[in-house]
Amino acid sequence: MIVGLLGDVHANGEFLNFALWKMNLENISDVIQVGDFGIGQTNYNARFLRRASVLAAHFGITVHIVPGNHEDHVLINELIGEQRTDFVRLRDNLLLVPRGMRWQWGSSTFVGLGGAPSVDMTARKAAQMGILDRKKHSWFPEEMITEEDLAYVAEGGYADIMLCHDAPNGVSAITKRISSNPMGFDVAGLAYAEEGREKMTRAFRSVAPKTFVHGHYHFPVNEMVPRPGMGSGSEMEYTHILGLGCDGSYMQFSMGHYDTETKIAHMWNSHEDHMNYNRESRSFVK
243-273 pLDDT, tens per residue?
Answer: 999 998 788 999 999 999 999 999 999 988 8
62-79 pLDDT, tens per residue?
Answer: 999 999 999 999 999 999
Task: Read off the pLDDT band of 134 (50, 70, 90).
Answer: very low
pLDDT tops 60 at residue 285: no
pLDDT at 250: 85
Give the SS3 label for residue 178.
helix
Q: Please give the C-alpha separations between residue 264 and each of 168, 204, 241, 278, in angstroms, as whole numbers.
A: 20, 18, 11, 30
Q: Which domains does the chain have, with CATH numbers?
A: 2-283 (3.60.21.10)
pLDDT tops 90 at residue 122: no
- Per DSSP, what are the bridge partners of residue 16? none
The set of residues, in sequence order, having a beta carbon less than 8 Å from that of 16 and lying 6+ positions away, is 9, 51, 52, 55
pTM of the model as a whole: 0.94
Task: Read off the pLDDT band of 180 (50, 70, 90).
Answer: confident
pLDDT at 133: 46
Alpha-carbon span 179 to 161, nearest angstrom = 27
| Structural contact between residues 236 and 226, judged by C-beta atoms closer than 8 angstroms | yes
Task: Read off the pLDDT band of 129 (50, 70, 90).
Answer: low
| Structural contact between residues 179 and 185, judged by C-beta atoms closer than 8 angstroms | no
pLDDT at 28: 98
pLDDT at 132: 46
148-177 pLDDT, tens per residue?
Answer: 999 999 999 999 999 999 999 999 999 999
Q: Which amino acid is at 188?
A: A
Show contacts of 119-124: CB within 8 Å, 24+ apart: 119/183, 119/185, 119/189, 119/190, 119/192, 119/193, 120/183, 120/185, 120/189, 121/188, 121/189, 121/192, 122/186, 122/188, 122/189
pLDDT tops 80 at residue 281: no
Task: Read off the pLDDT band of 130 (50, 70, 90).
Answer: low
Going through 92-208 in order, the beta strands assigned E by DSSP cover: 94-96, 102-105, 108-113, 161-164
